Copies of this chain bind each other. A is one copy, B any other.
Amino acid sequence: MPQQRGEETRGRILDAAVRKFAIAGYDAASVDDICAEAGVSKGAFYHHFPSKQAVFLALMNGWLSMINMGIDAVRKDTVPETLVEMTNLLPGVFAAAEDRMPMFLEFWLQASRDEKIWQAVIAPYRHYQERFTKLVQEGIAEGSLKPVEPQIAAQVIVSLAVGLVLQGVLDPHSADWAKVAEQSMQILMNGLAKN
C-alpha cells in the first residue's frame, strides 16, 4: 500500500519538524536535521515537501483546519447560543498551540519581513473574519441578534478570540481561560443579542 506508506512518511516528517522547530528554532533547524529526526531520506522529504517553509505551512494549516472543523461542528438553536458554545473549543486550541507557539512566533517574525509569507499568515485570519460575518448575518436574519453592522460585530468576536488565544498561550496559569472565554462571550452577547 504505497499511498498509506506515503501518508505515514509525511506524518513522520511533520512530527519531526515540530520537535526540531521547537528545540532549535525554525531558522536553525535544517532539512537534514528534520530528515535525521524523522528517519527518512532527503529524497523522501522532497517527494512530500518542496521546502522547509512548505513543512511549516502544512503544520500551520493543519492546526487551522482543526479549528475550522471544530467551528463548523458547533450548531445550537440560535446564533448567540452557538457563539457561546464555540468558546468550548478554546481549551483544545490552547493545548494544540502551546508547544508550537515558538514556531508560530518565528513564522510571524518572518512574515513581518517577507510579503509572501505574510500573505500565507493573513489569509486564514481573513477567512475567520468572513466566517463570523456570515454567522452574525444569520443571527440578524433569524432575529436573535440586534441589527448591528455584521462586519464590525465579527471583528469584535475575532479580536476577542485572538486576544484570548494569545493570552492563554503566553500566560496559561494566570486564569481559567475556558471559563474566561465563556463568560467573555456571554458579556459580548449581552450587548449583541436581542432580549
Contact = CB atoms under 8 A, between A and B. Distances in A.
Interface residues of A, number: 43
A126 B174 contact: yes
Interface of A: 25, 101-102, 105-106, 108-109, 111-113, 121-122, 125-126, 129, 148-149, 152-153, 155-156, 158-164, 166-167, 170-171, 174-175, 180, 183-184, 187-192
Contact of A180 (B102, B125, B152, B161): B152
Most buried by B among A125, A148, A159, A170: A159
A180 B160 CA distance: 12
Quickly give the copy total for this chain. Answer: 2
Contact of A160 (B112, B152, B159): B159
A111 B109 CA distance: 14
A60 B101 CA distance: 21
- Majority-rule SS of A interface residues: helix
Nearest to A146: B190
Contact of A109 (B105, B158, B164, B171): B105
Contact of A106 (B109, B163, B171): B109
